[in-house]
Structure 1
Amino acid sequence: PAPFRRGGLRATAGPRLLGSSVTLNSDQVKDAPFAQWSPEQVSKWLDDVGLGQYRTMASHWVKSGQTLLSATPHDLEKEMGLKHPLHRKKLQLALLSLSNPAAGRSSALDHTWVTRWLDDIGLPQYKDQFSEAKVDGRMLQYLTVNDLLFLKVASQLHHHSIRWAIRVLHANTFDPHCLKRRPSDETQTHPSEVVQWSNHRVMEWLRTVDLAEYAPNLRGSGVHGGLIVLEPQFNSDTLAALLNIPPQKTLLRRHLATSFASLVGPHAQRQKQDFLQGPGHTPLTATTKVRPKKLGFPTFGNLGKKKFDEGIHYICPPDLPPLQLASMVRGLSSLCPGRHYFLAIIPKGRLTPSTPF
């Protein structure tokens, strides 16, 4: 019998690592190339990667592992019923990881862990959508703007929140416990530590600066340490608006601004001021919506074919250079050069030439 395991989609004291979603126990499966796997082995593998609901249809269609390796998105939708675009992306990424066993620690973070991670970054309202889409740690690196819109994440602030939260995961090599929920030392709040604060930890900080009555307003706001320190558009006025501090309470807002500047450090504060004074600055608000990235007009050969924008405009491109948390606060320009936050990067690997990633 399977061992008893606590947990679900509710908030917990901290995210738990439930084990690799692609761990196989059979030595025969490990030794044989995936292309030679039997239909039974492929069905077991679908369970392991979190797509067990498709194993019945796969067992009638898949002749060997090669069937999946050579399948197009149209084949997956027709033969396996993979109509959910993020389920197709999940399957494609899992297949790619078979040829790259050293894919990193992100492959060990399953979709249940991701729902708890949403709690930590202050976005629990999206847990049902992420759980239904089976978004795991590996998929976080390849989420696009349109993927988040498909998951009903439309707020620009929430897009930035997820982007910087993934960036912090990258900097910590996808350590499942890198976000801090409890204060370790109230007298030591170096910006390199603030970057790793969870939403709950930020609310604890508000209590230490005598703003406890406004702390509950940050629930569901997407505010965490990475967003506070690393996002140049996020300043004390943004935080005051999210806390619902009235504009007429000037002394209270001034106190928040002073505490905020001390929290993020002089380097990050200078970058935020420079961005605020730059041309074309627009305030970052929770009500600003993100528009979907539109594809160009298809050629006549592609008319009538379904296309899903899955290869461009990553929220946090996986090809960005690695970061050191200690150096993050020295210069934000190296982290977010220019004003274009959603970068267009074409991935290096594909399953087949006709399969969009």
Structure 2
Amino acid sequence: MKNPLHRKKLQLATKTFSSKQPEKSAELDYIWVTRWLDDIGLPQYKDQFNEGRVDGKMLQYLTVNDLLFLKVTSQLHHLSIKCAIHVLHVNKFNPYCLKRRPGTESQFSPSEVVQWSNHRVMEWLRSVDLAEYAPNLRGSGVHGGLIILEPRFNSDSLAMLLNIPPQKTLLRRHLTTNFDSLVGAQAQQEKREYTEAAGYAPLSITAKVKPKKLGFSNLATHLRRRRQDESTDYVCPIEAGQAAVNGAEMRPYAALGGLSPILDREPDPCGEQVGLGDGRADPSP
């Protein structure tokens, strides 16, 4: 068995089989995961995930290196998957937690928006007279979880993904007004605080994630750290997902500390910054 994801699947299945209380994620098969990729706006990875037989249990324990093996190299797409897994954690891996179609409501709370699929976000764009730009979100990885939970994702990020030129100031202002109304006052404040923080770097839509290259000097330290706490490698730390559960009430900002690969980076002894667990953010497209 040469595929590392197949080996991981077997190990996790064995663990589930021997557990007296199987986790809900184990009920989601790999076919459901391919549909989930459609929902979060990343259908271009369906073949890789299907070949790796990535199921719900594997999503729960997905690592950065797993994503890189699946040829997911975009930093934005890593964030998209991370936020989407967080939403699954909060909803206890309910397979129907994402909303695909508009309802009758005219006002939206962050706890509702965070569950929007990529298609639902496109429907929202059509409702605010931006229908011609909505198709640009296909394959972007933009869904409600990313919009609400990633503090660096703002109206400028969305405008770039929609290919709205900077010179169309009135159109961008229109988008900003509706975006701020959508995410609510609390999210606006969170995003503003991150923007004004020292060392803030805007979210790049072209940045890539590469495996961290370890030198001989810090290889032993890294291996010890991995043995002590393997969870630090997870795309979405399990503790972060559990911390956000508050009965039936969704608290989008209860576990933001584990949601931003850039903001959660640890300083590297050589002066570089390590992001996304075992990955290193490369600002070049």
On whether the aligned pair clears a TM of 0.5, the verdict is yes
Note if contact 2:149-2:253 (Cα within 8 Å) is conserved in structure 1.
no
How many angstroms apart in 2 are the aligned matches of 1:285 and 1:142?
26
Out of 241, 246, 260, the position equivalent to 2:179 is 260
Per the alignment, residue 313 of structure 1 pairs with 233
| Residue 263 (structure 2) pairs with residue 339 (structure 1) | yes
| 8 Å contact from structure 1 (residues 234, 284) kept in 2 | yes
Write the distance in 2 (CA, Å) between the matches of 1:225 and 1:330: 14
Equivalent residue of 1:196, what SS? coil
Residues 89-128 of structure 1 deviation map (CA, whole Å, 9 limit, x = unaligned): 1111111112214222110111111000000000000000
Match of 1:328 in 2: 251
CA–CA separation in structure 2 for the residues paired with 1:138 and 1:296: 33
Instruction: Work out whether 1:131 is the aligned partner of 2:50.
Output: yes
Give the Å deviation of 1:294: 3.7
The reply on whether 1:152 has 2:80 as its aligned counterpart is: no
Shift of 1:85: 0.8
Q: How far apart, in 2, do the equivalents of 1:287 and 1:136 lie?
A: 28
Number of positions where the alignment pairs a residue of Structure 1 with one of Structure 2: 255
TM-fit CA distance, 1:322:
3.5
The CA distance in 2 between the partners of 1:344 and 1:145, in whole Å, is 6
CA change 1:127–1:328 in 2 (3 A) is: same
Query: 1:220 corresponds to which residue?
Result: 139
How many Å separate the matches in 2 of 1:327 and 1:106?
Answer: 19
Check if 1:209 corresponds to 2:128. Answer: yes
SS in 2 for 1:291: strand
Q: Equivalent residue for 1:231?
A: 150
Distance 2:5 2:159 in 1: 36
Q: Distance in 2 between matches of 1:250 and 1:214?
A: 15
- The letter for the 2-side match of 1:217 is N
CA distance in 1, matches of 2:94, 2:254: 24
Code of the aligned partner of 2:55: D
Give the Å deviation of 1:286: 2.4
* Cα distance in structure 1, aligned partners of 2:49 and 2:250: 32
Contact 1:232–1:332 at 8 Å: present in 2 too? no
Change (3 A) 1:331 1:172: closer
TM-score (structure 2 length as normaliser): 0.83
The structure with more strand, counted as a fraction of residues: 2
Residue of 108, 116, 119 corresponding to 2:27: 108
Residue 167 of structure 1 corresponds to 86
| Distance across 1 between alignment mates of 2:119 and 2:276 | 30
Give CA deviations for 1:219-263 in whole Å, capped at 9, x if unaligned: 000000000001001000000000000000001101111100110
1:247-326 equivalences in 2 (<5 Å): 247-295=166-214, 297=216, 312-320=232-240, 321-324=242-245, 326=249
Is the 1:230–1:332 Cα contact (8 Å) retained in structure 2? no
Q: Distance in 2 between matches of 1:94 and 1:227?
A: 29
Q: 8 Å contact 2:244–2:254 — kept in the other structure?
A: no
Gaps of 5+ in 2: 224-229, 266-274, 279-285
Question: Aligned partner of 2:251: which letter?
Answer: M
Please provide the CA RMSD for this pair. Answer: 2.3
Q: What's the counterpart of residue 192 of structure 1?
A: 111
CA deviations on 1:311-339 (whole Å, 9 max, x unpaired) are: 65210122333323745245665564892
Question: Which of the pair has the greater relative contact order for Cα pairs under 8 Å at 6+ separation?
Answer: 2
Identical positions, percent: 64
TM-score by length of 1: 0.67
Judging by fraction of residues, say which structure has more helix: 2
CA–CA distance in 1 between the matches of 2:203 and 2:105?
Answer: 29
Measured at CA, do residues 275 and 169 of structure 1 come closer, stay the same or move farther in structure 2, by a change above 3 Å? Answer: same
- Check if 1:122 corresponds to 2:122: no
Mark the structure with the bigger radius of gyration: 1
Change (3 A) 1:327 1:179: closer
Deviations 1:2-32 (A, max 9, x none): xxxxxxxxxxxxxxxxxxxxxxxxxxxxxxx
